[in-house]
Structure 1
Amino acid sequence: MKPVFKALPTDEVRALQAGGADAYGRTPERRVSDGDGVPCRHCLKNVDAEEAYLVLAYRPFPALQPYAETGPIFLHAEPCERARESDILPELFGRTAAYIVRGYDADDRIVYGTGAVVPTADIPERAGELLARGDIAYLHMRSAKNNCYQCRIERG
């Protein structure tokens, strides 16, 4: 099973870039990047030094429920092109040694026993194994250090 790595949907990002409310009902904060460690979840590229970016609360789930984690993410402040959906791990993620990969069911609940810190090079294989299971609808890739949402992984 080939996994497909998916960035945030453009319609959600454009609303936030236009000053729309984040998951907590607040306007995203605008900052200027130092060029290090500011990954945009839409284009899946780092925000370059001196470029403006947004930091905001994001909940990658359709509704509130006990497993609907909310946390901080970064976006370019100005419109950027959405990363192409691909079965190849986006280059941005190669800069970090490992990420959490975790499975969710069709009701957006964590499938227990699926979450693990996975070495970056092993993520496509592990994602394929998890997506081959009938009880898993999709995966999240999250920071192994801070648990921040990185991207969604679905069946190809």
Structure 2
Amino acid sequence: MSLRYIPMSDAEARRMREGGLDAYGNAPERQISDGDGVPCRHCLDYVEAGAPYLVFALRPFSSLQPYAETGPVFMHAEACPAHDGETLPPILSSRDSYLLRGYGPDERIVYGTGDVITREQLETRANELLARSDISAVHVRSTKYSCYQCRIVTA
């Protein structure tokens, strides 16, 4: 099965860069990267040391419902190309472990699918989850702070 790594949309990235309000109704905060683990949710690569980035609340769901988690994310303050979706993103190849969760077509967590997995297990576990008929997407989160990284679907 071929996996696709879905970043935040170009439209949402542009809206935030233009000062749009985040999921909590706040303007994004502008900061300067120290180069130590500032993952951009648009290009799915790291913000380089000395480069400006935005911090804002993202809700990576299309509807408001109890499972539509919202949390802080980072993104390059200047335009960056969206990740191509086809290759393993740099932000998913640099940590020791990740939290994966399966979601159904209704964007709700499918219980029993949440797992902390090693970097080496990421693609295998995503394929296992996406092979199930009740799972339409997998969300990847950091294990340290549970921050949303990206969504994985099948191509």
2:46 alignment partner in structure 1: 46
Q: Where do 4+ consecutive residues of structure 1 move more than 2 Å?
A: none
* Contact in 1 for aligned 2:46/2:90 (Cα 8 Å): no
Matched, 1:69 2:69: yes
Paired letter, 2:23 = A
Distance 2:108 2:90 in 1: 29
Matched, 1:100 2:99: yes
Q: Equivalent residue of 1:54, what SS?
A: strand
* Contact in 2 for aligned 1:3/1:131 (Cα 8 Å): no
The percent of aligned pairs where both chains have the same amino acid is 52
Matched, 1:33 2:33: yes
The C-alpha deviation readout for 1:94-123, integer Å capped at 9, x for no partner, is: 210010010001111100000100101111
Distance 1:22 1:140 in 2: 20
1:148 alignment partner in structure 2: 147
Matched, 1:116 2:115: yes
Matched, 1:78 2:78: yes
Shift of 1:2: 2.4
The C-alpha deviation readout for 1:40-96, integer Å capped at 9, x for no partner, is: 01011111111110000000011111001000000001111111111x321232210
The TM-score with structure 1 as length reference comes to 0.96
Distance 2:111 2:148 in 1: 18
The TM-score with structure 2 as length reference comes to 0.97
Shift of 1:6: 1.3
* Contact in 2 for aligned 1:103/1:140 (Cα 8 Å): yes
Distance 2:90 2:39 in 1: 11
Paired letter, 1:81 = P
The C-alpha deviation readout for 1:21-58, integer Å capped at 9, x for no partner, is: 00001100000111111010101111111111000000
Q: Equivalent residue of 1:74, what SS?
A: strand
Shift of 1:4: 1.3
Gaps of 5+ in 1: none
